[in-house]
Amino acid sequence: MNFAAFAGCASCIAVMSSSASAQEPGSASDAAITVTATRQAAPIEAVPMSIAVIDAAQLEKATGYLGAEDITDLLPGVEAAVANGSQVAFQIRGIGAVDHQALTPTAAAVYSDGVYLATNVQTGALLYDLERVEVLKGPQGSLYGRNASGGAINLISRRPTEETEGFIELGYGNFERFDANLAIGGGLADGLSARLAAKYLKRGPVLNNVAGPSEAGGERDEFGLRLSALLDRGGASLLLRAHYEADNGINPTPRNDALELGQHQIASAGDGVQDTRNAFYGVSAEFETDSAGWEIFSLTAFEGYRQNYGFDFDGTVAPFGIGSLNANLSYDRYFTQLSNETRVLRRTAWGSVMFGASAAYEQFDQRYTIWCGDLDAETLIGSCNYVGAPGRVGPDPASDAAPSTLVTDIAQERTALALFSFNEIDLTGRLSLTLGARLTSENIRGEGQGFHVFTDGVRALNNRDGAGPAAGSNRIRDTRLSGNAALSYRMGNGQAYASVSNGYKSGGFNGEVANNAAHYSDEGLFGQETVTAYELGYKSSGSPVLAYSLAAFYQDYDNPQARIFVQFPLPDGSTIVSNSLSNLDRAESYGVEADVKWRPINGLTLDVGAVWSRTRIRQRSAIGGNAALFDGNPLPFAPEFSAVMGAYYRSTLSQALELDVSANGKYRSAYFLDAEGLDTRKQNGFLTAQAQLSLRFVGSGTAITFWGRNLTGRDYALSGYGFIGYNTFRSDPRTYGVKVSHIF
């Protein structure tokens, strides 16, 4: 499917517009979009930055969506790399983190109800009972701080209200999909309200395994529960939230590019298929009050997860027909984070001033195991010997037996402290100045070991090339000043702005196999990356009929993190080359974007958005390995062109029945799956399309909805990695279903 197919969608939308022409023009009752991107409520057109919002109405029309990564179907210039089948890392304007290790920070910071989610495995299960999603494009160094060098994404759930209300939804779809969602909330006492939301999803395999058990195609078995309570005494309020999500499905097997397979097919004997045991949980307390003319806000939160999953690493029955090349892996992770952010805001006749402080402590532990065949969980010995194990033994093997399995343990602690200020100043009746700054200090300590297990049960530390045992520790201390400045000018029916902003992404420890002592040396770590962005834009006022925005941007990307082959020094002065997450010299990203929301007639809304951008890596230094091969390549998951188009139409069929129809599509031009820019790792351009039809029974609160996702049936790569060929995780095929819902 090419761009012509996307253009064809426009004619479909035109037909919908024509068929609705008898309706009255849109009225002023359509609610203006309000965002909290600047940590205070403001109309979207008044914020001098590029922001995309998926509101409650759009989320209601996203019935078939499974996780946070699916929202990219509604957003031009925003992509998601889904590593290992479940780890979501967003790319905004070409800048993001494309890596399969959970220790690698994201470049698009994800916040859930104001709480920063510090790793790329925490976002996937949170797409339920949301009020809206805000996507902030470009570095967010002042208010969001670390790991927001590409932007930030706010997932905002529905708050409790005094009014008793709720809903229940039951759905069924192909691939034996069953899902249920419910929410109920209302007042409990004077000034006290609460809300309970829950979801459940179960679905069978969607990829066709042509060589083994069907469950290798991935299964979903997920549950989520969110409880919130709001105590509002007028001058002060306290909002408590708690959530728990469980994922007990099976991660899909990747596809190896050496195999000749059809659409949505994989080939696995099933030896790497493993049950997933993931649990995500958290609690938070949000306090607001006023004192002496200052608005005081404090958010304290605890987040954590326990994760155990794995898959067939090589993505074949036997690579090149050789069973001993088979490889499987598993991750066993435990993570906790404790954080607080406190802000004070004062509004004046000339604008507002904000000061704040934040503190966070994070602890991450992981065991990463690679083996061949079937694994004995007690001895950690595979039924065959992993081909990569002998290379880690070193010059003095601890046993005469064959090395069988590789295990890497790593523990990391991170403390982050920050002071920040964000100020809005009215210079004249039309001209405003925004100034923000943030000083962040991070202290990261990591330690771990990598060892191999012989078939006789002996365990010994890895010592590849005799560079020393793979055990050690190290520490990273970074202090970073980031910020933003913007001028905005109210003109005509909108606002023009010019801005400069800066953000950074933290350095850290590699979560890969620890080969030898170099893994924990300074050379084995990866450093900070920074982005400085310049943007010009215009936003129209919040008209109920037509709203649009335009922006042009240039982003200077310094020390981008990438997985490359790096030269590590040995004690004798020689070097070895090994795969590592490291830093390239620089890159750039520039482009233009436009968004239009048009309500030409009553009941019909048209959304169109497009982004043209170009990215390029600039690599001049010779840091060893294959770094020079990156020069001139585009950044990964950065299509030059992407566009979305959506139509939403509501019509009254009779006094008892209303019809809702929605359709949307997204076209992405070709892009690469990693920074090496090899043609074999290129995803050709493609179109995805979604549609939904609802019949609403007036006055009853009941509706029946029919939906479909990926209606073009396109098979595309979600992410990829190199191992005995190149392996990619694949998209879902065409899915469809029906849902019955009741609102009360």
The pLDDT, as a whole number, for residue 29 is 34
Would you call 200 exposed, middle or buried from its count of C-beta atoms within 10 A (0-12, 13-18, 19+)? middle
pLDDT band per the 50, 70, 90 thresholds, residue 13: very low
Determine the pLDDT at residue 98: 85
Q: How many CA atoms, within 13 angstroms, populate the side-chain half-sphere of residue 710?
A: 18
Is residue 250 within 8 A of residue 276, CB to CB? The reply is yes
Look-up: residue for tokens 């494009």?
137
Write out the two tokens for 128: 């339920």
Q: At 16, is the pLDDT very low, low, confident or very high (cuts 50, 70, 90)?
A: very low
Handedness of CA 39, 44, 46, 51 (dihedral sign): positive
Mean pLDDT in the chain?
Answer: 90
Q: Are 126 and 153 in contact (CB under 8 A)?
A: no
SS3 content of the chain, % helix, strand, coil (to 5): 10, 55, 35
For residue 488, the tally of other CB atoms under 10 A from its CB is 23
**Is residue 430 classed exposed, middle or buried when 0-12, 13-18 and 19+ CB atoms within 10 A define those classes?**
exposed
pLDDT band for 10, please (50, 70, 90 cuts): very low
Beta-carbon neighbour count of residue 353 at 10 Å?
Answer: 17
Q: What is the DSSP string of 246-267?
A: EE-SBPPPPEETTS---TTEE-
Stretch among 44-53, 68-77, 121-130, 474-483 having the lowest mean pLDDT? 121-130
Average pLDDT over residues 553-578: 73
**What type of residue is 656?**
A
Structure token pair of residue 538: 């215009």
Q: What is the pLDDT of residue 37?
A: 77
The helix (run of H) or strand (run of E) holding residue 8 is helix 3-19
The 10 Å Cβ neighbour count of residue 41 is 9
Over range 428-447, report the average pLDDT. 96
Is pLDDT of 21 > 70? no
Q: How confident is the model at residue 12 (pLDDT cuts 50, 70, 90)?
A: very low
Of 543 and 390, more confident: 390
Distances (CA, A) of 487 to 346, 425, 432, 535: 20, 10, 6, 11
Contact indicator for 255, 728 with CB cutoff of 8 Å:
yes
The yes-or-no verdict on residue 315 having pLDDT over 50 is: yes
pLDDT in tens, 641-661: 999 999 999 999 999 999 999
The phi and psi torsions of 12 (rounded to 5 degrees) equal -65, -45
pLDDT for position 623 = 67
Distance CA 686, CA 48 (A): 32
Q: Looking at residues 221-232, what average pLDDT do you find?
A: 97
Among 109-113, 314-318, 335-339, 566-570, where is mean pLDDT lowest?
566-570
Kindly state the average pLDDT of the residues 14-32.
Answer: 39
User: What pLDDT score was predicted for residue 493?
Assistant: 84
Q: Report pLDDT for 14.
A: 40
CA distances to 417, 455, 532, 723 from 251, in Å = 36, 28, 37, 18
**643, 611 Cβ separation under 8 angstroms:** yes
Q: pLDDT tens for residues 256-276? A: 998 999 999 999 999 899 999
Average the pLDDT over 339-349 and give the result: 96
pLDDT surpassing 70 at residue 230: yes
What is the per-residue pLDDT across 151-209, written as a single tens digit (0 to 9) for each? 999 999 999 999 999 999 999 999 999 999 999 999 999 999 999 999 999 999 999 99
Contact between residue 731 and residue 715 where contact means Cβ atoms under 8 Å apart: yes
Q: What is the pLDDT of residue 26?
A: 35
Return the pLDDT at 572.
58
Higher pLDDT, 106 or 647: 647
Give yes or no for residue 77 having a pLDDT over 60: yes
Residue 666's alpha-carbon distances to 2, 72, 644, 671, 690, in angstroms, are 11, 9, 4, 15, 9
Query: If pLDDT is split at 50, 70 and 90, which confidence band does 582 have?
Result: confident
Q: What pLDDT score was predicted for residue 541?
A: 84
Average pLDDT over residues 368-392: 93
- Structural domains of the chain ordered from first start: 3-743 (2.40.170.20)
pLDDT digits (tens, 9 = 90+) for 123-155: 877 789 999 999 999 999 999 989 999 999 999
Among the listed residues 160, 116, 37, the one whose alpha carbon sits nearest the alpha carbon of residue 300: 116
* Cα separation, 31 vs 600, whole angstroms: 16
Check residues 69 and 729 and name the one with the higher pLDDT: 729
Percent of the chain with pLDDT over 90: 73
- Predicted pLDDT of residue 573: 61
Contacts of 413 (CB under 8 A, 6+ apart): 361, 362, 363, 364, 444, 445, 446
Return the pLDDT at 658: 96
- What pLDDT, on a 0 to 100 scale, did the predictor assign at position 32? 62
DSSP-assigned beta bridge partners for residue 363: 336, 413
* Per-residue pLDDT at 624 exceeds 80: no
The rounded Cα 501 to chain-centroid distance in angstroms is 22
Q: Report yes or no: 331 and 366 within 8 Å, Cβ to Cβ.
A: yes
Instruction: Kindly report the number of other CB atoms within 10 A of residue 20's CB atom.
Output: 18
Q: Is the dihedral of CA 23, 26, 28, 34 positive or negative?
A: positive
8 A C-beta contact, residue 12 and residue 663 = yes
pLDDT tens, residue by residue, 276-311: 999 999 999 999 999 999 999 999 999 999 999 999
In angstroms, rounded to a whole number, what is the distance separating the alpha carbons of residues 649 and 665?
15
HSE at residue 203, side-chain half, CA atoms within 13 A, is 27
Please give the Cα distance from 398 to 208 (Å, whole number).
43
User: Any idea what DSSP says for residue 162?
Assistant: S
**What's the whole-number mean pLDDT along residues 455-476?**
94
Q: Is 711 helix (H, G, I), strand (E, B) or coil?
A: coil
For 729, the token pair is 């995780």
Distance CA 325, CA 306 (A): 30
